[in-house]
Structures are given as structure tokens and as C-alpha cells.
Amino acid sequence: MASVTKERVLFVIFGVPMVTCLLVFFWIVFVLSTGIGTLRWDLLTTSVLQGGIFEMIIGTVYLLLGAAGIAGPVGVLAAVYLVEYAPRGKFTRIIDQAINNLAGVPSIVIGLFGYTFFCRQLGLGISLAAGWLTLTLMMLPIVIRGTEEAIKLVPASFKEAALALGTTKWKATSSMTISSAAPGIITSIMLGVARVAGETAAILFTSCVLVTRGLPKSPFEPVMALAYNLFVKIVALGESPDEVFGIALVLFFIVAFFATAAISLRIHYRRRQPWLR
């Protein structure tokens, strides 16, 4: 086959899936937009007890912030350990594999584990805290892997130069590697959040209830969440999908917000990392 023709054929072969994805994306947006009608500003700010969805939104936000607050530091430190300090050997390979496996565990299983361990064993009951811990388990692989990649992209020369000046290994790592990798780290945390924002199964039995009286006052109280409510309304209460589309749309926007923010941050900080070009 002449190479010009071959190029054209390949272009089509690669182009078709991309176009298909775009089409699917727009179709999803279209379908969701039929729910725009049910969205009103007062709906978002009114308490559930009066027909709004305020507590659901805030509940989701609480869950996400808390999970990020735990998964962030833990994930970053774990990644730093794996890249900088872990000795090459069987033990490290096992840890590596375990992280990969964790990423592949179905969310319902994680939810069940969370319920058994965090809610029952540790006595947290159905609470925000249990939700945080369970969501952390889902976020960790993303944060760890993302941080590892970000750290590996930082040129070793910075750390080497710092060490040659007489810094300790930790100071060299923290002042050079971590701070240079910061944009990548934040991006991976945001991606982790985007991943778990719509998680239903994990929070199903660990932290959510259908209705709470106001916002939870401590982490040990249960919480309302958009995804949970969506699920329950359709499956358990048999409400028509049209009515809950508004909720779905809000959830969609939250996830889209985090994903977009992650990408924008990454683009913005690329400028300050000339070694990546």
C-alpha cells in the first residue's frame, strides 16, 4: 500500500474512536440537560426538609474535602517513601503490587470493607469519618501513582546539587523534589477527588443516610450525599428519573469542576517547570 494512502487510512482509523467519544460526551450532556429545567437557585440553597438539596451538596463537599485531607498527605508520604527511600527488593515489589490491586478493587467491595472495619470494628458507625476513610482507600492509588510520576519527572540534578551542598536527604527531597512536584501532586489529588466524587457504593453503607436534620456537627454523624440520594431515589423510592436529573446534573458539574480544575492547574504550572519541555 502506498504510504500516502496508508497515512490516510490510519488517520481515519484513529479519528473514528475520537469522534465517537466526543459524540457520546455531547449526548450525555444533552440527556442531562433535559434536567436543567428542574434546577433552580433556590433548590440548591434550600434545605432538604423544605424541598431543596442543600444538605446533599454540602454533604458531598464535606466527604470530598475530608477524603482529600487524609488521602493527600498519606498518599504523598507513601509515594515519597516508595520513590526515595524504599530499598529495591521483594518487599517493595509487594507493596507496589498491593497498590495496583487496591486500584482494581470494585467499589462495592471497598464499601463493604469500610462498613465492616471502619463502621463496626472501629466503632465509627455510619458517619462522615467512616466515609472519609473509605473514600481515602479509593483515592490512595491515584494519589500515590500520580505523586510518584510527578516526583520522577523532577530532574535528579536538583536533589544532587542540594546534597552536594551539605543538606540531609530529607531536606533535599522536601525542598527540591516535593516542592517541584507540587503541581503534579495537587493535580493527582484533584483527579482522585474527581474519581470519588460520584462514588455511590463506597458511601452506601458507610456514611450516608437519606435525610439528616441540618448539617452534621461532628465527623461522627452521618451525612447526605448527592450520589447516594440519586441512587436511593431511583431504586428504592421509585421516583421518576426526570425528577432526579437535577441532582445528577449538580453531581456532574461537581465532578467536571474538579477534573477541569486539575487540568487547568497542570497547564498553568507547566510554565514554571521548564525541565519538562
Partner 1 sequence: MAEVDIRKLNTWFKDNHVLKDLSLTIKENAVTAVMGPSGCGKTTLIRAINRMNEIISGSRTTGEVYINGINIYDENTNVYELRRKVGMVFQRPNPFPKSVFENVAFGPKIHKMANGKEIDKIVERSLKEAALWEEIKDRLNDSAFSLSGGQQQRLCIARALAVEPEVVLMDEPCSALDPTATTKIEALIREIGEKYTVIIVTHNLQQAARVSDFTAFLYVGKLVEYGDTKSVFENPKSELTEKYITGEFG
The residues that touch partner 1, with contacts defined as CB under 8 A, are: 88, 155, 157-158, 160-168, 171, 175-176, 180, 272-275
Nearer to partner 1, 151 or 223 (CB): 151
Contact 133/70 with Cβ under 8 angstroms?
A: yes
User: At its nearest, how many Å lie between partner 1 and the CB of residue 76?
Assistant: 18
Shortest Å distance, C-beta 268 to partner 1: 15
Grid coordinates belonging to 170: 530529607
> Least CB distance from residue 181 to partner 1, whole Å?
11
Distance CA 119, CA 273 (A): 43
| 128 vs 154, beta carbon nearer partner 1 | 154
Minimal distance, residue 90 CB to partner 1, in Å: 16
Q: Which is nearer to partner 1, 8 or 270 (CB)?
A: 270
Quick one: angle between helices 179-197 and 128-153, nearest 10? 140
Smallest separation (angstroms) from partner 1 to the CB of 147: 18
Residue placing its CB nearer to partner 1 in the complex, 127 or 180: 180
- Residue closer to partner 1 by CB (options 166, 238) is 166
Q: Closer CB to partner 1, residue 157 or residue 264? A: 157
Tell me the closest approach of the beta carbon of residue 182 to partner 1, in angstroms: 11
- Which residues are 208's β-sheet partners? 223
Nearer to partner 1, 68 or 162 (CB): 162
Distance of closest approach, residue 186 Cβ to partner 1, in angstroms: 16
CB atoms within 10 A of CB 238: 7
